Homo-oligomer: A and B are copies of this chain.
């Protein structure tokens, strides 16, 4: 059976995952849904996130996806179990592959995590690391300003550098040796993060890790598509010129965004 990959995210940040998927699986058909009408997810509560993730998944399945990638760390942290209970398709998400990689990389078992408030509060990363690596210490830092800074396009601004430094100081003080970038937006400022956390710290890019996991799965079980069966499609629930600008920032090229309602209006 041919696989159509369905990727959802709170907005267009998940394009960092798409970019990595396209490197590994350039011809595999892909449907994207970015819930820009309700973005961001990182400030929302647990139950609300489960509800949103369920709606996003249904949208993708309804458009032909038969493998789901939760590109949003906040949604992955809150909703993965609920989605796996409800839907029978394979569901990949950004947390587990990042944890795997962090465990593989850490030498002193001192791991740092940065993410949105929802991701950090959920404790999902800590739980996953502790359950698989005894004696590990995990230090987390919510960084609510990094997403708006990236979306403002201030990727090299002095203010961004100062704020990254401020957020990372507690993790640096704890002498972490590995840092998980627990948010789709952070790969765009990976250089600054590396500089401010210290050059010796290993950085885990969750967007790349989940793409590798999907690639392994598809390669092991089914034939990788060599011919595009259809065009990739990129849906968003709200479309503004700013959204298109951010999409370009993330994908590095122009992409046709289509507006789609979740059928839950009015």
Which residues of A are at the interface with B, using a C-beta cutoff of 8 A?
36-39, 43-45, 48, 51, 54-55, 58, 117-118, 121, 144-145, 147-149, 151-152, 158-159, 162-163, 166, 237-243, 264-266
Report whether A266 and B151 are in contact in the complex, using a CB–CB cutoff of 8 Å.
no
Per CB-CB distance, the 7 closest pairs between chain A and chain B, nearest first, are: A45-B240, A48-B238, A148-B148, A38-B38, A55-B266, A45-B238, A264-B264
Taking CB atoms, residues of chain B closer than 8 Å to A242 are 43, 117
Known: A148-B148, A265-B264. A44 touches B159 (CB 8 A): no
Give the Cβ gap from A1 to chain B, nearest Cβ, in Å: 28
Taking each of A58, A158, A166, A266, which has the highest tally of chain B beta carbons within 10 Å of its own beta carbon? A266
Taking CB atoms, residues of chain B closer than 8 Å to A151 are 43, 144
Choose from B37, B43, B44, B51 the contact partner of A265 (Cβ within 8 Å).
Answer: B51
Report whether A149 and B145 are in contact in the complex, using a CB–CB cutoff of 8 Å.
yes
In Å, the complex CA distance between A238 and B40 comes to 13
Report whether B159 and A148 are in contact in the complex, using a CB–CB cutoff of 8 Å.
no
Report whether B239 and A45 are in contact in the complex, using a CB–CB cutoff of 8 Å.
yes
In Å, the complex CA distance between A147 and B58 comes to 32
In Å, the complex CA distance between A243 and B166 comes to 23
Give the Cβ gap from A239 to chain B, nearest Cβ, in Å: 6
In Å, the complex CA distance between A240 and B43 comes to 8
Q: Which residue of B lies closest to A266 (CB)?
A: B55
Taking CB atoms, residues of chain B closer than 8 Å to A117 are 240, 242
Q: Which residue of B lies closest to A152 (CB)?
A: B144
Choose from B36, B38, B54, B243 the contact partner of A37 (Cβ within 8 Å).
Answer: B38
Taking CB atoms, residues of chain B closer than 8 Å to A162 are 158-159, 162
Taking CB atoms, residues of chain B closer than 8 Å to A240 are 43-45, 117-118, 121
Report whether B266 and A44 are in contact in the complex, using a CB–CB cutoff of 8 Å.
no
Taking each of A58, A158, A242, which has the highest tally of chain B beta carbons within 10 Å of its own beta carbon? A242
Give the Cβ gap from A48 to chain B, nearest Cβ, in Å: 5
Q: Which residue of B lies closest to A118 (CB)?
A: B240
In Å, the complex CA distance between A252 and B237 comes to 35
Give the Cβ gap from A169 to chain B, nearest Cβ, in Å: 13
In Å, the complex CA distance between A145 and B158 comes to 14
Report whether A39 and B43 are in contact in the complex, using a CB–CB cutoff of 8 Å.
yes
Taking CB atoms, residues of chain B closer than 8 Å to A144 are 148, 151-152
In Å, the complex CA distance between A185 and B266 comes to 28
Report whether A266 and B266 are in contact in the complex, using a CB–CB cutoff of 8 Å.
no
Taking each of A45, A121, A162, which has the highest tally of chain B beta carbons within 10 Å of its own beta carbon? A45
